[in-house]
């Protein structure tokens, strides 16, 4: 697996819901003081494909995710 864009940011979720994961990543990015346009870019990328597996892949490409 490739290294995420922000490997210092770590997200843990117990939910299988991809929207919950995207929300958790958005929150973690905000808490890490990532610029708003970058967070919006993440959101667009994570939600642009209507596929839960794709959303999870995008989240993992941005931050470290434990599930």
Number of structural domains found in the chain: 1
Task: Enter the DSSP assignment of 40.
Answer: H
Rounded-to-integer distance, Cα 5 and Cα 52, Å: 20
Rounded-to-integer distance, Cα 49 and Cα 28, Å: 22
Identify the pLDDT of residue 57: 96
Q: Look at residue 42 and tell me if it is in a domain.
A: yes
Q: Look at residue 1 and tell me if it is in a domain.
A: no
Q: What would the pLDDT profile of 31-53 be if each residue is shown by its tens digit?
A: 999 999 999 999 999 999 989 99
Question: Regarding predicted confidence, which is higher, 16 or 29?
Answer: 29
Q: Look at residue 24 and tell me if it is in a domain.
A: yes
Q: Look at residue 39 and tell me if it is in a domain.
A: yes
Write out the residue range of the structural domain in which residue 27 sits: 6-66
Q: Look at residue 41 and tell me if it is in a domain.
A: yes
The answer to pTM > 0.85 is yes
Identify the pLDDT of residue 44: 97
């Amino acid at each position: 697996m490739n290294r995420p864009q922000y490997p210092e940011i770590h997200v843990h979720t117990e939910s299988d819901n991809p929207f919950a994961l995207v929300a958790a990543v958005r929150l973690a990015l905000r808490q890490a003081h990532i610029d708003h346009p970058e967070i919006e870019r993440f959101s667009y990328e994570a939600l642009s494909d209507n596929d839960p597996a794709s959303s999870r892949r995008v989240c993992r490409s941005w931050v470290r995710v434990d599930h």
